[in-house]
């Protein structure tokens, strides 16, 4: 074969750049649609049971905080006590068994235990406690925040 007779098909360099960019953009759109598929429009709900409890000073009460996936949300909900009202010296203290709760469409409910503790010097009154949950997973629902509250009455 005479190599002098072969002609090469050569595309202009701009074609290679355009083809590469088209490939990158289509791959990026595919990855973006897959990662947003599970969280697009997703939401979650928070709830505490029981909604209220009454204890004597120097006692404790237990509550269950539940995060529930809604509309296909799959992610980690970071939870914490954000306020106690009234805020008083020697008021009750609260401890969560965990601060991150994973929820998904296949495992829609996650829970954490809240323990409320009082001492003999805790003032007798009703305390309203607010819990906040925030989606910390990347995606369309990132940063979505919800709150719920419960009460603790100290006699």
Quickly tell me which residue has 């701009």 as its tokens: 14
Mark out the alpha helices in the chain (DSSP H runs).
13-37
pLDDT digits (tens, 9 = 90+) for 50-67: 999 999 999 999 999 999
Q: In sequence order, which residues have a C-beta less than 8 Å from that of residue 110 and are 6 or more positions away?
A: 66, 67, 77, 101, 102, 103
pTM equals 0.72
Q: Per-domain residue ranges for the chain? A: 11-38, 43-154
User: What is the CATH architecture of 43-154?
Assistant: Sandwich (2.60)
Spatial separation of the C-alpha atoms in residues 98 and 82, rounded to whole Å: 15
Report DSSP state, residue 120. Answer: T
Which among 3-12, 69-78, 138-147 has the top mean pLDDT?
69-78
């Amino acid at each position: 074969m005479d190599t002098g007779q072969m002609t090469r098909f050569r595309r202009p360099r701009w074609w290679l750049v355009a083809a590469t960019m088209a490939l990158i953009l289509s791959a990026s759109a595919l990855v973006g649609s897959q990662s947003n598929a599970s969280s697009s429009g997703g939401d979650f709900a928070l709830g505490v049971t029981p909604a209220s409890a009454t204890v004597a000073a120097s006692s404790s009460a237990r509550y269950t905080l539940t995060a529930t996936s809604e509309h296909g949300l799959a992610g980690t909900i970071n939870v914490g006590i954000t306020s106690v009202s009234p805020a008083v010296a020697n008021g009750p203290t609260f401890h969560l068994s965990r601060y991150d709760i994973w929820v998904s469409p296949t495992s829609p409910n996650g829970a954490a235990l809240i323990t409320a503790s009082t001492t003999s010097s805790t003032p007798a009154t009703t305390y309203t406690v607010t819990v906040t949950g925030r989606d910390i997973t990347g995606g369309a629902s990132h940063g979505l925040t919800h709150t719920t509250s419960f009460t603790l009455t100290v006699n």
